[in-house]
Chains A and B, each alone.
Chain A
Amino acid sequence: MKMKRRDFIKGAAGSLALLTLDGQVVDARTVEALPPNALGILYDSTLCVGCNACMSACKDANSMQAELGQGNTIWDKPQDLSSKTLNIIKKFSSGKGVNKDVVEDGYAFIKRQCLHCVDPSCVTACPVSALTKDKESGIVSYNKDACIGCRYCQVACPYNIPKFEWDDPYPEIVKCQLCSHLIAKGGISACCSVCPTGASLFGPVEKLIEETRRRLQMKPGKQYDFPVSSIDSGKSHVFKAPKYVRHVYGREELGGTQVMYMSAVPFEKFGLPTFPKESFVSMASGIQYAIYKGMVYPLVVLAGLVFMVKKNKNAEEQGKTEKKDTVKGDTHE
């Protein structure tokens, strides 16, 4: 009996040791692949003129309140993404800030919104599947009827996208859902349909990736066609090709995202973090998976524990009665 108990403890210790192997169990879960009909947005910072039409259209399409406050009671003036703002154009500026898409004394725009990750942290984090990734379109959407408001999605999101209605007694999580309600009716994301320059371009992710390849091959200064609204719209403008950074943000970051960025200014300048290819999700959920897959380990441990407690408890009961009888008699080992 004694041997058995020791062996059991050894086994339990062994499964714990599993936890300490840095990186070894990570492979227990593979990184998700891009869904077959993934939809997304290609935002080209060099085409953006900062008109903010996308922000206004976003508010209309999603019935969002205007961001007032700080002495301003008239117009929408968000400073960052918030529970009232799903989409925002922000500006990088340095020195005199006069030359567009240049680092020194220059400026450039960036669109911030949910990037609709291929392997979204928020979806893995959510305990009640209130955040889900559509198997076809890959759109990450939110269901307020399931959400318990634990905010683990906010902790988990590497891009700090989900926002919480802090001043609402029964708050919701708020984030861009790519206007899935418009897409369901055959439309496209509101921000893209109003973008006058094609800086925000809607389309199937595969086609958008092809478009990024085409743009990266353009000779800076030469004129090319740039599609507007949607990559399939047939409409386009002619622009001079800029000198792109040789990297598409979102192509591979943490397993990739369905909203991607192109720019002539390095992405760090916009405060976008540099990420490895592998997502943090696969690390956490790899460990969780290795231990809790099918609940086999926990159930085996539980069976062992029940057995040991029962044995020890019986010995204790016996000890009590024996004590009453013979006064002496320590039955504990």
Chain B
Amino acid sequence: MSEEAKPLGGRIFTPTFLVCLIIVGIAGYFAIKRFVFGIGSISNMNDGFPWGIWIAYDVVVGTAFACGGYVMALLVYILNKGQFHPLVRPALLASMFGYTLAGVSVFLDIGRYLNVYNLYLPWQMNFHSVMFEVAMCIGTYIFVLWLEFTPAFVEKWKLKNFGKRLNRVIFALIALGVLLPTMHQSSLGTMMLMAGYKLSPLWHTSTLPLLFLLTALFMGFAMVVFEATISSRVYALGDETNMLSKVARIMSWVLGFYLIIRFQNIFMRGEMANAFSGTFLGNMFLVENLMLLIGLFILAYPNYRSNPRLLFVAAVAVLIGGSLFRFNTYIIGFDPGTGWKYFPSIGEQMITYGLIAFEIAAYTLFVKVFPVFSVHKSAELN
């Protein structure tokens, strides 16, 4: 538990790293095109679907994937479950890049990016706007995440004085790092309330803020399991299944609570028939929840969740189900009427792939250079 985190070391320019860089390069080409010729030149977004995958995936799904740091901070520092401490820093690192790149994506997505400073002019702020709250929260949280991760820089570069000063305020940063995602993750749900009749009743409910908060929580846990499983394979780290299955147990409670609320809400509003109507949207609703139920089924049983392979399957199912819920709420269940259609263009997709590739590359770089993992290499254990 009190083992110090160490850089993993090793070769940085692996084939994976290079492939990621190539994808980032292609995305860079489309990004330049967007700034020269306008968003319409590379994207299929239109006046009926003003938000495409840059918002729905990069921000709405992407920040939920990046809730690992949030949920681990919640577990370790608020609920005082110190045994999960080794999972905090890797989760924080993934969150840091997830959120930072969501910020980059927003910058590509918004049309009048030079006007962003207006968000910080008191006389321009609109406190009624959900978008204002989300923008401020996410903006601040990116900053907080980097500060939360700073101890890794301090250890690496031996910045003792700065480290001492940081240590005096870090508890406040951690607290902010729990408050801010609670606020903006629920607000991402509030955001789509305004869409009114344009959003299918299968997703439009005043419970959206709570549903979004809960998806952020269980997707955060699922991402911790997902990342820890992959990195322990890739970097040949020690076995963490014991700890991860404990995380899985907590995840199963959150997920179960979510599903009860989700179905109770659908039932109360009389939308059950709509869900089973066999229409495209009805089926999307079913697939979304089927994935979550599969995840819950595995997570709920101690035997299943302590099997690393099944646990990984459950995490993937939960991540897909949670992402579908968010995709459905932002794009698939959204219909402005008058025949508008949307499917992301190649350029639009490439930008998103580029951001994901950048995340992976940066993550692999950081774990090799900075002290992130505190689990011994299995080779060293022997």
Residue positions of A touching B, CB distance < 8 A: 16, 19-23, 25-26, 80-83, 121, 124-130, 144-152, 154-156, 158, 160, 163-172, 271, 273, 275, 280-281, 283-285, 287-289, 292, 298, 301-302, 305-306, 308-310, 312-313, 315-316, 319-320, 323, 331-333
Contacts and interface: CB of A to CB of B under 8 A. Distances in A.
B301 interface: no
Contacts of B269: 22
Contact of A128 (B76, B81, B119, B172): B119
Given A128-B118, A309-B175, A149 B111 contact: yes
Given A16-B213, A283-B193, A305-B78, A148 B176 contact: no
A16 B80 CA distance: 21
A167 B37 contact: yes
B278 interface: no
A38 B205 CA distance: 33
B124 interface: yes
B131 interface: yes
A145 to B, nearest CB: 7
Contacts of A150: 109-110, 131, 135
Interface in B107-139: 109-116, 118-119, 121, 123-133, 135
A145 B213 CA distance: 34
B15 interface: no
B170 interface: yes
A289 B190 CA distance: 11
13 contacts: A20-B261, A127-B131, A129-B124, A152-B194, A154-B50, A166-B40, A169-B37, A287-B190, A288-B128, A305-B78, A308-B77, A308-B175, A313-B171
Interface in B191-246: 191-198, 205-207, 209-210, 213
Top 10 A-B residue pairs of the complex, sorted by shortest distance between their CB atoms: A149-B111, A166-B40, A280-B196, A127-B132, A305-B175, A151-B50, A284-B193, A154-B50, A332-B82, A149-B112
> Main SS of chain B's interface residues?
helix
Contacts of B133: 288, 292
A288 B115 contact: no
Contacts of A23: 206
A175 to B, nearest CB: 11
B2 to A, nearest CB: 5
A100 B226 CA distance: 64
Contact of B38 (A20, A82, A167, A316): A167
Interface of B: 2, 35-41, 43, 45-48, 50-51, 76-78, 80-83, 85, 109-116, 118-119, 121, 123-133, 135, 170-172, 174-176, 178-179, 182-183, 186-187, 190-198, 205-207, 209-210, 213, 261, 265, 268-269, 336-338
A273 B213 CA distance: 31
A129 B121 CA distance: 10
Contact of B78 (A81, A152, A308, A315): A308
Contact of A287 (B37, B38, B193): B193
Given A306-B171, A316-B82, A273 B197 contact: yes
A155 B51 contact: yes
A166 B316 CA distance: 36
Given A148-B113, A167-B37, 9 more contacts: A19-B206, A125-B131, A152-B131, A155-B51, A156-B194, A160-B48, A166-B43, A308-B80, A309-B174
A149 B338 contact: no
Contacts of A147: 111-112, 115
B82 A319 contact: yes
A99 to B, nearest CB: 25
B183 A271 contact: no
A118 to B, nearest CB: 15
Contact of A166 (B38, B116, B118, B337): B38
Nearest to B192: A155
A308 B39 CA distance: 45
Nearest to B176: A302
B172 A306 contact: yes
Contact of B338 (A21, A160, A166, A167): A160
Given A146-B124, A302-B175, A315-B80, A280 B338 contact: no
Contacts of B41: 167
Nearest to B114: A170
A313 B170 CA distance: 9
Contacts of A305: 78, 175-176, 178-179
A148 B238 CA distance: 47
Nearest to A158: B196
A164 B109 CA distance: 12
A21 B112 CA distance: 37
Contacts of B135: 127, 150
Contact of B110 (A125, A148, A275): A148
Contacts of B43: 166
Nearest to A303: B175
B118 A124 contact: no
Contacts of A308: 77-78, 80, 175
B38 to A, nearest CB: 5
Contacts of B183: 298
B206 A287 contact: yes
A153 to B, nearest CB: 8
Nearest to A306: B175
A230 B261 CA distance: 54
Nearest to A131: B126
A171 B132 contact: no
Contacts of A332: 80-83
A26 B207 CA distance: 12
B86 to A, nearest CB: 13
A21 B50 CA distance: 30
A121 B112 contact: no
Contacts of A152: 129, 131, 191, 194
Contacts of A331: 82
Contacts of A170: 111-112, 114
Contacts of A128: 115, 118-119, 121, 124-126, 132
Contacts of B35: 169
B112 A280 contact: no
Contacts of A22: 205-207, 265, 268-269
A154 B47 contact: yes
A146 B45 CA distance: 22
A127 B119 contact: yes
B120 to A, nearest CB: 10
